[in-house]
Structure 1
C-alpha cells in the first residue's frame, strides 16, 4: 500500500548569592537527589496513568526534547473521556522525574520503553510520540513491532533534523542562566526568562523551556540533564538506520506551519512505514498538541477508528 498524502481540514472540534543552573542537576520535590543510571541498563521511567473503563489497547504518549509527561495531561484526560481507553504519559530518561543517565540515544530510550511496558504487563499499545518521542516511537515500532498495535508520529520524520532546529542555542542559553537563591518562584521564572531572551527569541519556546525550572530548599535548577542532551544532540537530531519495516497502521501528523515533515521525507517514510498516512493540521506549529489540542484529539480519534 502506498503512503497516502492529504491535508486534514479543521474540524468543528476542532518552571543573596547567585548561582549557575548546572547541567544535570535534578532537584524536583519528588527526587531531591539525582538518580543516575548505569549507561548500559534501562532506567525505570516515571509515568502517569489515566484509567479508562474500556478494555481496548492503551495509549502511550512520549514527549519531545525538553518536554515531560505533563505535556500531554490534558490531552490524555480528554482521550480517556472520549475513547474509554487507558492512557499513559511517560517521562523519557534525563527528562521530567525520570532518572538521569550519561547515555541518551534512541536505542537506549527504546529499551527503557520496552522495560516499562513489561513492568506494567502491557503486551501491546497505541504508541504516540512527539518530536524526540516520535523518533523513539518509530524506533520501537521498527524493532519491537509486536508491542505496537498502531503508531502516531507527531511532527517529526525518520530524517535528519539538525538544520531545522535551534536546540544548540537553547542549551547554551539554559546553561548560562544564573538565578538568586531564596526568592519566590515567580521571580525566579522572570529572571530566567529575561536571561533566556537574548538567545531564545520566541516567547512560547521560552515558556516551554521554563517548565524545566524546579526549586528545592530555595535553590533553582534545570531538571533536564543538559550535559547528556548536549553530548548527544547530534544523534538526537538524526535517526538510526533500519532495514526493517513496520507494517502496522501509522499516522504522521504534522503542523502545517512547521518544517519538520517535508515532502523530501516522504520516500523514507514510505520505505519504513508502508501503511502510513500523512496529515497536516492547519495553523499549527511544531507543538501541535498545544496549538490545536481539539484538532489533535480529533485526529487521534479518527485514526483509532479507521
Structure 2
C-alpha cells in the first residue's frame, strides 16, 4: 500500500515545520553537504508504494500545475507489473509540498536529490513529465550516481517559451474570483467560466481546476503557488546551460501531437544524453501518460527490460 508523507503549510504559503519521514536512513554526510551548497531543499510530499524488490525503484515527477496524483494509477499498475518500488512526489509549490519563492530547476532538483537517499531509493529510474522532466534531467546531469536510467516525457533540454501558454494560464488563474458560500463543485463551475476566455481547451481547464481547493476559512484558493510560479515562469520555461553529459540509458518520449520535442532538438539531446532513445507516441499530445496510458506504460516497461 501507499506510504505517505505530507509537507504542511499555512494558508499564507509560509512553510510550517513538517513531520520527519517515517522510514529510511538519514542523509549521508556527503550528500547532505552537496545539497547544502546549493538551493536549500524543502521536504516534499510523497507517496511510496513499497516492495521487497531490489531493482532500482521508479520515481515519478509531475509537470507544471500537476501533483503526485497524476501518476498514482500508472505508478500502482507499474508496481504490480514490474514488482519495483514506486515513488511519486509533489514538486515544491505544487500539491501538498511547501510553497517557496524559488521555483528554479536547481531548487526542484535539490529537493529530489535530498529525498532519494533519505528514503533509500538511490539509484533510481527517474521519470519526469514536462517541468518534472527538466528537473529529472538536471538531477541526472549533476548527480548521475543517483539516476540508474532516465525517462523524459515530452520535454527536451531546451527552452519551451515559444510553444507554451503557461504564463497566460497563471494570469487567468490569479484573476479568478469565487464567492465564499459556494460548494466546491459550484466553485469549479464558476472558475471554469472565468478561465474559459483565456484557456480555450476544456480538458486543460479541467486539469487546472484540480488545483482549486477550499481553505478552512471558507475561501477558495489555488493549491499551486500561483504568485511564485508567475514570478519564476521565465526560469521554468528555460533550461540551464550545462556542459557535463549523463552517461546512463535515457528515453525521450514525445507526443506525436505535441510540439515540445522537435527534430531540431535532437543534437542537443544527444550531446547531453549520448545514450538517448527518442520515441514518438502516436495520437498523444503533451500529456502522454493521460492521453495514452497503456502506450506510455508499455514504453516504460520496454525501456526497463
TM-score, normalized by the shorter chain, greater than 0.5: yes
Task: Confirm or deny that 1:97 pairs with 2:96.
Answer: yes
Q: Which position in structure 2 is the counterpart of 1:115? A: 114
Instruction: Using the TM superposition, give the Cα deviation of residue 121 of structure 1 relative to its aligned residue in structure 2, in angstroms.
Output: 2.2
Q: Is the 8 A contact 2:46 2:68 kept in 1?
A: yes
Write the distance in 1 (CA, Å) between the matches of 2:160 and 2:122.
32
Task: Confirm or deny that 1:149 pairs with 2:155.
Answer: no
* Higher relative contact order, structure no. (Cα contacts within 8 Å, ≥ 6 residues apart): 1
Instruction: Using the TM superposition, give the Cα deviation of residue 215 of structure 1 relative to its aligned residue in structure 2, in angstroms.
Output: 1.1
Q: Which position in structure 2 is the counterpart of 1:8? A: none
Deviation string, structure 1 residues 75-118 (Cα, Å, up to 9, x no partner): 00100111000100010000100001111101111111111112
Q: Which moved more, 1:49-58 or 1:88-97?
A: 49-58
Q: Provide the secondary structure at the position in 2 that maps to 1:36.
A: coil
Write the distance in 2 (CA, Å) between the matches of 1:247 and 1:41.
27
Unaligned runs of 5+ in 1: 1-27
Q: How many residues align structurally?
A: 278
Instruction: Using the TM superposition, give the Cα deviation of residue 56 of structure 1 relative to its aligned residue in structure 2, in angstroms.
Output: 1.2
Q: Is the 8 A contact 2:7 2:45 kept in 1?
A: no
CA-based RMSD of the aligned residues comes to 1.8
Q: Which position in structure 2 is the counterpart of 1:234? A: 234
Write the distance in 2 (CA, Å) between the matches of 1:252 and 1:194.
36
Q: Provide the secondary structure at the position in 1 that maps to 2:232.
A: helix
Alignment of 1:248-263 (within 5 A): 248-263=248-263
Task: Confirm or deny that 1:202 pairs with 2:201.
Answer: yes
Q: Which moved more, 1:50-59 or 1:94-103?
A: 50-59
Deviation string, structure 1 residues 10-31 (Cα, Å, up to 9, x no partner): xxxxxxxxxxxxxxxxxx9965
Write the distance in 2 (CA, Å) between the matches of 1:249 and 1:73.
24
Write the distance in 2 (CA, Å) between the matches of 1:240 and 1:29.
28
Write the distance in 2 (CA, Å) between the matches of 1:149 and 1:170.
35
Deviation string, structure 1 residues 256-287 (Cα, Å, up to 9, x no partner): 00000000100000000000000010000000
Instruction: Using the TM superposition, give the Cα deviation of residue 40 of structure 1 relative to its aligned residue in structure 2, in angstroms.
Output: 4.2
